[in-house]
Structure 1
Amino acid sequence: MSALTPQSILEGRSSNRAPVPLIIGLVVSGICLLLALGFYVVLGGTAVVLAGTVLALPTAVLLVGLILLVDRLEPEPRLHLLLALGWGGGVAIIGALIVNSVSGELLVSVLGSGPAEFATAAVIAPVVEESFKGALLLFLLWWRRTEIDGPTDGIVYASLCGLGFALVENILYYMRGIEGPAGQFWLMIVVRGVVAPLGHPLYTSLTGLGVAYAATHRGPGRFFAVVGGWLGAVLLHALWNGSTVFGLGGLIIAYAVEAVVLVVMIVILVRDRRRLVGLIRRYLPAYVPSGLVQPADVQMLGTMPGRRHARHWARVNAGGVGARAMGDYQLAATELALLHARAQTATIDPRAFHARRDAILGLMRAARDAFFRRLPQAPPPPWARQQQSGFFAPPGQIQVARLPQVPHRR
């Protein structure tokens, strides 16, 4: 059996191959995305679909970049992020198109055209769309629960899923705008691309918060957190869709509520980053006796500028190998702190904890050894003025036997 790659260790996999459920999810999402785009082509033609795609992409690319910036301190696996984006733009879109269309036709026969259109937009669509998007988060909770370490992870996965949905949905809206009056087209561009581009990511983020709570806590509250997050997503979505019937005043109220929710999300993200930094400063000093970590390393790991400066310093002194080694060391140390947090909340089995801890420590040692193979006589790093950094400690100073014992709650 071949040695695990750093990425496999960081993701907690037992092999270097992509997991089968992940491959199946990506394939299904891709097929659904192609089906959705094929349906659009049937509706409006290839040229109109391409035009709608060109109009929808800039906003989506910008927002994906912002979400990835949020995810820098403890980045999620790239294929998982791709699955979230693809699920929203494929599975959720196809599911919503089918269920919303069928439900709309049934309501027309019962309520008539006008009331049925409003009921579909304000009631049916929010429930259906947030359920299909939320299904991806439930899948991650069941299959890769250990990848969700806190509110930031829940928000990141949910936002990408919602963004994938919004991207493909916006193509359809822009197609309709292109074929309609010029004034309606520009209004569509402003509303969908400028005024409210965060709608779907914001709605689904509420579900993401509930799922994140369920992934990091024990007890019956987990179920209510997931259901409560989903209900919040549905209600916020319904508020926006239903506000259109009340004209400009309704839109202003809905926009104000969404703005408040957005501010709350930003506060949660900031607090969660501080929590993660606190975990690093709380748990990593216990590994100082082992020689793998020193107080200077803890300070370096606690800030994004410090991490970036350390990678730059490693690249200058040891090239790409040194930069990759430093990156692996930083991510492994962060995962180690999060692993201890799970142990303290008893959301990981003790045997699984020790197995994963050994793998992470092995990666930290391997990263250090890779650096020294590239640069045998490493100069002291600038962030360790009075002490030797654990990463750059001379060979032979690492005491692997002295590891902290972590009690588990029962």
Structure 2
Amino acid sequence: MPALDPRAILDARPTGRPSVGVIVAIAVSSVCLLVALVMTSAEGPTFLEGLLLALLPLPLLLAGVLALDRLEPEPPDALVLAFLWGAGISVLVAMGINTAGLTLLWTPLLGQEEGFVATAVLTAPVVEETLKALVLVGMLWFRRHELNGPTDGIIYGSMVGLGFATVENIHYYTTAGPDGLAVTFVARGLLSPLVHPLCTSLTGLGIATAALAPRGWARVWPVLLGLLGAMTYHALWNAAPSFGIVPVLAVYLLGLGIVVGLLVVVRADRARIVALIGQHLPQYGPLGVVALPDVVMLTSLARRRRARAQVRAAAGPGPARAMRDYQQAATELAMLHRRLDRGLVDRAAFERQRGPLLALMLAARGVFTPLWRPEAPPR
């Protein structure tokens, strides 16, 4: 029997390595990122300071986004692609289009100052949100199985937005000059670091909704609504400073409301996944891949974490990885059942994906079961 490749099984692909398409997209995005950085470095004397300030909050922001991804972690290559697409292709192309619009359209029509406002309010939201959305649409087309619910769309949208915001902030910090650098950092790095991730999360939410919908317009309208929401909030954010402090506060509060709404959606999605695990996994008890203590453990993030820690303390990282693979395979199996119930996969595809997941769960369970003492079920 050939050795199991957990990464390939969990990602539902032939091998655990990234596909050629993903590698090419990452490479192109990386080149675009380098070009954008070179162009930005020539715009002001504070490039290094701007680079450091833009990177300063990034670990915390990434940790916050990835904390949403604990129940059903997304493939690392897909997360890297989403971030680099936002930081590279989206930024570079947007710089060209926005500059062309300002130079060729808005400045001749309105003058330099009003033209800049028109570019920020009318051109930039449409251009930037469309460019950021392209990678999410690509996932809907080529890797729809990765979009198992609204949380996935929010995570991928946030990663694209973080990439875009990081490089855009480098530009703003670099061109602010020494006198305006501190004010710009407070405004963009401390008060509004989530604007781009927030906007693109709305697009991602629409994309994820479309991934769970049947073919036809049921897949189109969520994408359009999500993109429209992203463009609208982006435009409101850019327009508000032109009208005074009250509109700025109103748009800021609207953004906080959207953040709270997205967190409520994530919480509800997590509860849905837990319910799917409890609904579908007990039927596999006779196969030896799951028992009641396993289901109890799988339906709580805290109990999952404690189980991994217990196994790691007893026997090291190898068995702990087996426990982690078991947890993720069980979650993927529950969501695969949901896709079958909704008619998103046929029976043949379901069987092709279910078999390797069960094999991985059985093999992983054989590794960690002798090392794990299950917790008592909650009353």
User: TM-score normalized by structure 2?
Assistant: 0.95
CA contact (8 A) 1:321 1:371 kept: no
Whether the 8 Å CA contact 2:148–2:208 is kept in 1: the answer is yes
Q: What does 1:134-153 correspond to in 2, within 5 Å?
A: 134-153=133-152
Asked whether the equivalents of residues 311 and 372 of structure 2 are also in contact (C-alpha less than 8 Å), the reply is: no
> How far has the Cα of 1:316 moved from its partner?
2.7
Q: Find the aligned partners of 2:175 and 2:372 in 1 and give their Cα distance.
A: 62
Q: Deviations over 1:306-358 (max 9, x none)?
A: 00111122223332221111111111111100110111111112211100000
Q: Would the aligned equivalents of 1:158 and 1:201 in 2 still touch at CA under 8 Å?
A: yes
Who is 1:392 aligned against? none
Q: Which amino acid aligns with 1:119?
A: A
Gaps of 5+ in 1: 373-377, 386-410
How far the C-alpha of 1:112 sits from its partner, in A, is 2.0
Matched pairs, number? 375
Find the aligned partners of 1:178 and 1:299 in 2 and give their Cα distance. Answer: 57
Could you give the per-residue CA deviations for residues 18-70 of structure 1, whole angstroms, max 9, x where no partner exists? Answer: 2011001100110000000010122225xx22110111112121100101111
Contact 2:154 2:205 survives alignment (8 Å): yes
CA RMSD of aligned residues (A): 1.6
CA contact (8 A) 2:199 2:234 kept: yes
Q: How does 1:253-268 map to 2 (within 5 A)?
A: 253-268=250-265
From 167, 173, 192, the equivalent of 2:188 is 192
Equivalent of 2:266, from 266, 269, 282?
269
2:280 is matched with which residue? 283
Contact kept in structure 2, 1:325 and 1:370, CA below 8 Å: yes
Alpha carbons 1:4, 1:16 under 8 Å: kept: no
Q: Does 1:36 align with 2:36?
A: yes
Residues in 2 aligned to 1:44 and 1:177: alpha-carbon distance in whole angstroms: 8
For 1:101-250, what aligned pairs fall within 5 Å after superposition? 101-106=99-104, 107-179=106-178, 181=179, 184-219=180-215, 220-250=217-247
Contact 1:11 1:77 in 2 (8 A): yes
Q: Which moved more, 1:260-269 or 1:112-121?
A: 112-121
Residue aligned with 2:73, SS:
coil
1:97 matched residue in structure 2: 95
The SS at the match of 1:44 is coil
The residue identity in structure 1 corresponding to 2:235 is: A
> What is the CA-CA distance between 1:110 and the residue it aligns to?
2.3
Equivalent residue letter for 2:41: V
Structure 2 residue aligned with 1:315 = 312
In structure 1, give the amino acid aligned to 2:50. G
Distance 1:93 1:266 in 2: 27
Unaligned runs of 5+ in 2: none
* Distance in 2 between residues matched to 1:371 and 1:299, nearest whole Å: 16
The 8 Å contact of residues 282 and 292 in structure 2, kept in 1 or not, is answered as: yes
Q: Report how far residue 177 of structure 1 moved.
A: 2.2
How far, CA to CA, are the matches of 2:74 and 2:136 in structure 1? 14
Work out the CA distance in 1 between the residues paired with 2:170 and 2:371. 54
Structure 2 counterpart of 1:404: none
- TM-superposed deviation, 1:384: 6.1
Given that 2:41 and 2:174 are in contact with CA atoms closer than 8 Å, whether structure 1 keeps it comes out as no
Tell me, in whole angstroms, the C-alpha distance in 1 between the residues paired with 2:139 and 2:92.
20
- The answer on 1:298 being equivalent to 2:295 is yes
Q: CA deviation at 1:382?
A: 3.0
Q: Which has the larger radius of gyration?
A: 1
- Structure-2 residue corresponding to 1:357: 354
Contact in 2 for aligned 1:4/1:15 (Cα 8 Å): no
Look up the equivalent residue of 1:14 and give its one-letter code.
P
Structure 1 residue 3: Cα displacement: 4.3
Counterpart in 2 of 1:5? 5
CA distance in 1, matches of 2:322, 2:158: 30
**Against the structure 1 CA distance between its residues 384 and 14, is the aligned structure 2 distance closer, same or farther, given a 3 Å change threshold?**
farther
Distance 2:230 2:34 in 1: 27
Distance 1:364 1:314, change over 3 A: same
Offset at 1:2? 6.6
2:14 counterpart SS class: coil
Structure 1 residue 368 displacement after superposition: 2.5
Cα gap change, 1:228 to 1:380, in 2 (>3 Å):
closer
Q: Distance in 2 between matches of 1:16 and 1:327?
A: 16
- AA of the residue aligned to 1:76: E
Alpha-carbon distance, 1:369 to partner: 3.4
Output the amino acid matched with 1:62: L
1:18-33 equivalences in 2 (<5 Å): 18-33=18-33
Contact 1:88–1:133 (Cα < 8 Å) also in 2: yes
Please identify, of 72-81 and 170-179, the stretch whose mean Cα deviation from structure 2 is larger.
170-179
Amino acid at match of 2:205: L
Q: Find the counterpart in structure 2 of residue 396 from structure 1.
A: none
With the length of structure 1 as denominator, give the TM-score of the two structures: 0.88
- 1:63 paired with 2:61, answer yes
